[in-house]
Structure 1
Amino acid sequence: MTTTLREESVGAGERAASGPRVGVLALQGDFREHAHVLAGLGAEVSLVRRPTELAAVDGLVIPGGESSVIDKLSRTFGLAGPLREAIAGGLPVYGTCAGLIMLADTLLDAIAGQQSLGGLDVVVRRNAFGSQNQSFETELDVPALGVAPVRAVFIRGPVVESVGPDATVLASLADGRVVAVEQGNLLGTSFHPEITGEHRFHEYFLSKVRARARS
């Protein structure tokens, strides 16, 4: 049975029943923070740990955390194959930090045996900004989200080393390093909008979910 946000007592709003069905991969990482944001934006949110729960949602968020652990647990729980199939089938998916690593077609500095789900035509380097005590905040110009800059928090974040022809850059740092990309129904950011009160990326993602649900 799908574990709903309300059942997990992490703050579903009264509007949730009429919103799109969005899952948050809840194997490891800051999945509850994403769930709170999505519920506040009117989505019906489920925590996804099993293939049956994945099959019940219209979109999925892969949270930040430790990408190698998320990879191992996705295989242990029998989710890796269904996730790849869902991504290939057009399921809208948003990956933040470790989630971006999971969506990348190619990884640099991966640990031995680490796998990604793929889907984004990008090369991503793990832990590109150093250790956790080197975390930082900055403002980013993201034209797709409007004129106001996005406040971005980087915590042991990855960076997009190169972008293939199928993907599009949404945001870069002042030094040119790419930190946000999209490709069709897929969206990835190196940073954590779920912990700063910056909801525009989640709103942008939900627009993809709603558009696919209507098609």
Structure 2
Amino acid sequence: MTIGVLALQGAFDEHEAMLKELAADYREIRQRKDLTDDLDGIIIPGGESTVQGKLLHDLGLFEPLRQKIIQGLPVMATCAGLILLAEEVSNDKPLLATLPVRVRRNAYGRQLGSFAADGAVAGIGDYPLRFIRAPYIEACLATEVQVLNETAGHITAVQYHNQLAMAFHPELTHDLRIHAYFLEIAAKRKKLALGA
């Protein structure tokens, strides 16, 4: 099984370190030729969503990546990645628009731009949450969207079919459980694709 890590901008190194700890194969996605059909999942890291969106367009990755996600390629997105996936962004334009949620960028403002909390993540348990100038989800736009975490009254993690997205940064902790859960999603999808 091979996981693609979008490595255009942002905290992709930290995600790769988590995958290494889990003994998972991965490949950096930097150009169109890296986005091959043998990928079993993709991680979109935190960083700057506007910059990542522009680079995806400039490198010819935007539409191929969007189509792969629509077709069911498992994706895990953190912080800026959540903004990239959201169908609606209340204070900006949507980008990939594959995840039926409405997101607010930099939702916590400057004073609470970065903070740590502990909270329960559905299917995972208590988890250390690290927020950096984070968005949050204002609304879920489809009944199939499962809320995995709420922090301070706001939705901060969801799953929609094979899309796993969160406002916080699991890659900035030492807790591997969310990455392991994503690998399970990717493995189940691969098994189904192989007809097993």
The TM-score normalised by the length of structure 2 is 0.93
Letter of the structure 1 residue corresponding to residue 176 of structure 2 = H
1:70 is displaced (CA, Å) by 0.3
- For 1:40 and 1:47, how far apart are their aligned partners in 2? 16
* Matching of residue 120 in structure 1 with residue 109 in structure 2: no
1:97 corresponds in structure 2 to 79
4+ runs of 1 displaced by more than 2 Å?
A: 131-134
Task: Report sequence identity in percent.
Answer: 43
Match of 1:169 among 143, 147, 155: 147
SS of corresponding position for 2:123: helix
Unpaired runs of 5+ in structure 2? none
Tell me the number of residue pairs that the alignment of Structure 1 and Structure 2 aligns.
190
1:132 is displaced (CA, Å) by 8.0
SS of corresponding position for 2:156: strand
Unpaired runs of 5+ in structure 1? 1-19
RMSD: 1.3
Match of 2:182 among 205, 210, 214: 205
1:193 corresponds in structure 2 to 170
Superposition pairs for residues 41-190 of structure 1, below 5 Å? 41-55=22-36, 56-110=38-92, 114-131=93-110, 134-146=113-125, 149-164=126-141, 165-173=143-151, 175-190=152-167
Letter of the structure 2 residue corresponding to residue 50 of structure 1 = Q
Q: Return closer, same or farther for 1:122/1:206 CA change in 2, 3 Å cut-off.
A: same
If each structure's strand is expressed as a fraction of its own residues, which one has the higher value?
A: 2
1:188 is displaced (CA, Å) by 0.3
SS of corresponding position for 1:101: helix
Letter of the structure 2 residue corresponding to residue 68 of structure 1 = T
1:120 is displaced (CA, Å) by 1.2
Letter of the structure 1 residue corresponding to residue 20 of structure 2 = A
- For 2:35 and 2:119, how far apart are their aligned partners in 1? 32
1:135 is displaced (CA, Å) by 0.7
- For 2:177 and 2:87, how far apart are their aligned partners in 1? 25
* Matching of residue 22 in structure 1 with residue 10 in structure 2: no
Letter of the structure 2 residue corresponding to residue 209 of structure 1 = A
